Structure 1
Amino acid sequence: MNLEPEGTGSEASAPVADGSAEESGGGADVGGTLVGATLDAIKAAAARVEVERHLAETLQRNLLPRLPEIPGLRFAARYRPGGAETEVGGDWYDAIVLRSGRLGIVIGDVVGRGVEAAARMAHLQSAVRVYALEDLRPAVVLERMNGFVLEGERGGMVTLIYAIVDPDANTMRMATAGHPPPLIFRPNEEPTFAETTAASPLGVTRFPVYEESVMILEPESTALFYTDGLVEGPGLPLGEGLDDLRRASEGNPLEPDALCHAILGSVDARAGSRDDQALLAVQLKPAGETLDLTLSPQPDSLTSMRHAVAHWLRAADASEDEVYEMLVACGEACANAVAHAHPATSDAPFELHARLRDAEIAITVSDTGRWRASGQERSGRGLALMRELMDDVDIGRGPDGTTVTIRRRLRGPAAREESP
């Protein structure tokens, strides 16, 4: 049977076979099925993207380091992803305690996004730590990292800064590979960018030249390292972004944690930006009249103690001979706190308190264990050495533990200049 469209009159129409209505209904079912399948596929793809983003972000956050405790330095860091709809990138920072007691600072940015970029960042982070722990100069670290990216890693270019901060000398030595310069904050001065020599990113050329710059950082000065997500965005050239950052930084506090918070608040995530933002702030603390340390009863805690006490003594204007001799005496007291801790409290930390008053240094080591018995005390070389090096040694014992106090008067600059 032929059907004509209703109301068409004499107008011709194409013939339609019997049963076409049923077939038309079936087509609707098929179309609905296809639409449903497409929606399901879109949802599944979106779920996979979200899983990948979550995995990459978790990987990156877990790889960002815990900042160390270094005598004379304060730290703070922040990391903010580029946006809720984007994958995380390869931004990272690191702070590495070097064998010399100085601090290695790393901030870098890997090209790319997602799990692959985060995994690559972890690879590079491990490599730069290995080179830094050899106590190599910043330019040499970058040269080796460039070779690593070209030959061993081959994943595209990387921007990187490596700096060495010496809290005893109040200096920072650094080299940069295509990364924006750190912003330097000094007390009662406007923030300024560190002067660095332009150089290519890692992985661009086989024989790059990386030059070092050295600057003096006065006590309470802060160096702010950051990735380019803070200063670049769609339609925003790097130069304008740097100017924006400097202006936004004026009048901000120098304390690292407050500074990072203020910077991220004033330079908000730029509209349309797909790049992450990482910040690391390092401040040189002014020397105080006292030093307080809580140390674990493990042998490696003595290394941390020596760095902290040496820095504090130098800030107190002790000579290198005085620093060395007081470190030996202090080391003996701390070594006994580690070796002779009470078994029931073997995991309990011990305390070190140092005070400078009227040119006299007094260092007290307190623990919850028992020090040497009186017979061992008379024959112990450690106690004899402390008494030889210090003006006074006092050992107090009680039910709560043992306290050792050593004292020595500093000769002072004038006395040292008059000595033959």
Structure 2
Amino acid sequence: MTEEPRPARPPAPRPAHPPRCSVPSQAPDTTGPRTGPAPSPVPGATAAAHRTRTMYDDPDTTRRDSVNFTRWSARLPGTQRRAAARTDRGAVPAARAREHGESPADSAPEPAPPAPTVDRLPARELLEHAPALTALLHGPDHRLLHVNEAYRTAFGTPPDEATGTPAQGALPELAALGLLPLLDQVHRSGRPRTVKSRKAPDGRSYTFTCAPVSVPPAAPDGPADTAILLFATDVTDHAEAAERLRASERSQRETAVTLQRSLLPQELEQPDDLRIAATYQPGGTEAAVGGDWYDVITLGGGRTALVIGDVMGRGVRAAAVMGQLRTAVRAYARLDLPPHEVLQLLDGLAAEIDATQIATCVYAVHDPNEGRLVYASAGHLPILVRDENGVIHRAEEPTGPPLGTGGWLHASGSVPLTPGSTAVLYTDGLVERRDQDIDQGVSALADALAGASGSPQVICDRLLRALGVTATHDDDVAVLVVEHPARDSSDADLFRNATLELLGGVEATPRARAFATGVLSSWRCPPDLHDMGVLAASELVANSLQHGAPPMRLRLRRTDRRLIVEVTDGDDHLPRRRRAEPADEAGRGIAIVAHVSSAWGCRRIPGGGKAVWCEFALPAKRTPHGS
């Protein structure tokens, strides 16, 4: 009975991804007949061995599964994720090696030959073809040994007989550039030296470096000698760019200083009773305007306002704020308000302009009738006053916070400014230093003022020198010097005062008219000025009698340039000029005064009341013909 052959088992479908352990840890030996006892069967081992043999026996399966294995192994940690490219004969590098009959190990590149050492390099060739201008000089008199091609192109080829001769004659351009002393220094010290951006006769700029080099002795036992290697780099483009930058900076700085000065008074007003000088020194070397300013404002009636301020910071913004504040001060001064009220208005405006910008200011008013300087300060440094005896007074109190803080009620103070006295208003750049307290700077300024003499402008200059302010000072400086000169006998006749107390009543106007007539006659006023002065005094007194309150006072004052008529009373309602109708019986007094005088005004006075004034310009003194 014969057995029928078993039908072949169809191969099991291969999964899309082989299992992780599809290859046994030990490959079967298929090189020869199997000898010895068969291995003990293990459940599942026969199928696994069959699959393994099939995989290794079939080249296509081997290639396919090995690629799959590579893809799977790329998922294992620590394995390479990119497989090498393969051909029908294996990996590309190995296949190429087998085609040429060599093993992969035999295809390694040959090592590069060693580079030559530095001492084997041709020094002359290196110097000759170097892009920098190079010259080699030998000995204490700097005899010429060699110049390279770049040097010859720049300065020309020295004659053949120049080799071995001193550089002063062989290379005259070195003497023209002032490099011979530099060569001497290098030869003596043995240290390299560099000079930057020297302009050659051809108009180009070079940076020269001289370095000592050791020269082997001529004889074996001779001493070593020293040569100097001079090499230069053409920096013409850099030098021209730097010069253009410096010119631009100079132009910008000049523009900035011009802008700064245009915001300051072009010409200081000179009141009748005062002599005033000011100076402004811009700080730093950069093109940046500052915020320091000063001003002198004639208020009329012989009174003068003095202003100095400082907007912190630099630049266009600080200058813009400064310009607005200065303009506002002049506008508020026209209201003829007390100093603290002017600062009160200025404080609110500063907050509206820029609440983040810090600004300080002093506003002071000089009234020659009182002989005092009434001031208010918003965080500014104190005014210094030297009296006629040389004693220094500080106007330190009262003072308030800087402008723009808001909510502060400023107050006014006063300091004597009698004939023979000098006052100084200044900004912090004059007294502030990084290495000392600002109070020490103010004390130094007081000492300098105590010993300074001369005109106000001379005192300004001396104070700057005494405080060490130079052209390179790093902060803006503004100084205002005010002198109330003492009058000698010749000038005393030109400055006269006369006062009449009026009790009121219908007889006040005739008394005022008679008083003015007598005073102006004694002062030898011209007839037309005499009549106008009497008319103005009569109208102002009549206006005060009708609209004011006692006590009343008439003051006549003459200076070398004007006649001032002033009436004060106890009522603080200020008069206004208005147009009277033909049928009106009153309202023409102020209009008449405004018409006949050169200026008029009114103001409230401390303690209550008001002052109404007008002034007349005196005719200029005529110089005799031919003098």
TM value normalised by structure 2: 0.43
Which of 457, 468, 477 in structure 2 is aligned with 1:277? Answer: 477
Provide, for residues 336-388 of structure 1, a one-character-per-residue CA deviation record: whole Å limited to 9, x for no partner: 9xxxxxxxxxxxxxxx899xxxxxxxxxxxxxxxxxxxxxxxxxxxxxxxxxx
Q: Which residue of 1 aligns with 2:411?
A: 211
1: CA distance, partners of 2:445 / 2:464: 10
Structure 2 SS opposite 1:250: helix
Unaligned runs of 5+ in 1: 10-23, 26-34, 293-307, 337-351, 355-399, 402-420
Q: 1:70 to 1:291 in 2, by over 3 A?
A: same
Is residue 222–residue 255 contact of structure 1 (8 Å, CA) maintained in 2? no
Is residue 305–residue 333 contact of structure 2 (8 Å, CA) maintained in 1? yes
Matched, 1:52 2:162: no
2: CA distance, partners of 1:323 / 1:86: 61
2: CA distance, partners of 1:237 / 1:130: 36
Q: Which residue of 2 aligns with 1:6?
A: 116
1: CA distance, partners of 2:282 / 2:561: 42
1: CA distance, partners of 2:236 / 2:462: 48
Matched, 1:198 2:308: no
Q: Which residue of 2 aligns with 1:313?
A: 496
Greater Cα radius of gyration, structure 1 or 2: 2
Amino acid corresponding to residue 528 of structure 2 in structure 1: A
Which of 221, 236, 246 in structure 1 is aligned with 2:421? Answer: 221
Q: Which residue of 1 aligns with 2:361?
A: 160
1: CA distance, partners of 2:515 / 2:422: 27
Structure 1 SS opposite 2:385: strand
- Pairs within 5 Å for 1:239-254: 239-253=439-453
2: CA distance, partners of 1:143 / 1:254: 36
Amino acid corresponding to residue 283 of structure 2 in structure 1: G
1: CA distance, partners of 2:515 / 2:433: 51
Q: Kindly report the root-mean-square deviation, in angstroms, between the aligned alpha carbons of the 2 structures.
A: 4.0
Is residue 72–residue 287 contact of structure 1 (8 Å, CA) maintained in 2? no
Which of 293, 298, 312 in structure 2 is aligned with 1:97? Answer: 298
2: CA distance, partners of 1:134 / 1:175: 16
Is residue 431–residue 441 contact of structure 2 (8 Å, CA) maintained in 1? yes
The alpha-carbon deviation at position 333 of structure 1 amounts to 3.0
The alpha-carbon deviation at position 142 of structure 1 amounts to 0.8
By relative contact order (CA 8 Å, sep 6+), the higher-ranking structure is 1
More helix by share: 1
Is residue 96–residue 129 contact of structure 1 (8 Å, CA) maintained in 2? yes
Q: Which residue of 2 aligns with 1:333?
A: 528
More displaced 10-residue stretch of structure 1: 325-334 or 69-78: 325-334
2: CA distance, partners of 1:330 / 1:155: 55
Which of 266, 281, 287 in structure 2 is aligned with 1:80? Answer: 281
Q: 1:260 to 1:272 in 2, by over 3 A?
A: closer
Provide, for residues 214-270 of structure 1, a one-character-per-residue CA deviation record: whole Å limited to 9, x for no partner: 222221111111111111022222111111111222222264223222211211227
Structure 2 SS opposite 1:72: coil
Is residue 363–residue 376 contact of structure 2 (8 Å, CA) maintained in 1? yes
1: CA distance, partners of 2:350 / 2:261: 23
The alpha-carbon deviation at position 132 of structure 1 amounts to 0.8
Q: Which residue of 1 aligns with 2:318?
A: 117
The alpha-carbon deviation at position 104 of structure 1 amounts to 0.5
2: CA distance, partners of 1:6 / 1:332: 113
Provide, for residues 160-184 of structure 1, a one-character-per-residue CA deviation record: whole Å limited to 9, x for no partner: 0000001122111100011101111
More displaced 10-residue stretch of structure 1: 159-168 or 181-190: 181-190
Structure 1 SS opposite 2:272: coil
More displaced 10-residue stretch of structure 1: 320-329 or 129-138: 320-329
Identity of matched residues, %: 35
Is residue 259–residue 289 contact of structure 2 (8 Å, CA) maintained in 1? no
Q: 1:180 to 1:323 in 2, by over 3 A?
A: farther
Q: 1:53 to 1:117 in 2, by over 3 A?
A: farther
Q: 1:85 to 1:151 in 2, by over 3 A?
A: closer
More displaced 10-residue stretch of structure 1: 228-237 or 266-275: 266-275
Matched, 1:174 2:357: no
Amino acid corresponding to residue 124 of structure 1 in structure 2: L
Provide, for residues 146-200 of structure 1, a one-character-per-residue CA deviation record: whole Å limited to 9, x for no partner: 1111113446011100000011221111000111011111112322322322321
Is residue 166–residue 172 contact of structure 1 (8 Å, CA) maintained in 2? yes
Is residue 177–residue 199 contact of structure 1 (8 Å, CA) maintained in 2? yes
Amino acid corresponding to residue 6 of structure 1 in structure 2: P
Is residue 233–residue 272 contact of structure 1 (8 Å, CA) maintained in 2? no
Q: 1:229 to 1:81 in 2, by over 3 A?
A: same
Amino acid corresponding to residue 194 of structure 1 in structure 2: A
The alpha-carbon deviation at position 83 of structure 1 amounts to 3.6
2: CA distance, partners of 1:3 / 1:327: 117
Is residue 395–residue 414 contact of structure 2 (8 Å, CA) maintained in 1? no
Structure 2 SS opposite 1:173: strand
Q: Which residue of 2 aligns with 1:343?
A: none
Structure 1 SS opposite 2:468: coil
Unaligned runs of 5+ in 2: 1-111, 120-129, 132-234, 502-511, 532-559, 563-623
Is residue 272–residue 561 contact of structure 2 (8 Å, CA) maintained in 1? no
Provide, for residues 6-62 of structure 1, a one-character-per-residue CA deviation record: whole Å limited to 9, x for no partner: 2289xxxxxxxxxxxxxx99xxxxxxxxx9877776655544433332112112223
Structure 1 SS opposite 2:429: helix
Q: Which residue of 2 aligns with 1:142?
A: 343
Is residue 230–residue 267 contact of structure 1 (8 Å, CA) maintained in 2? yes
Q: 1:323 to 1:174 in 2, by over 3 A?
A: farther
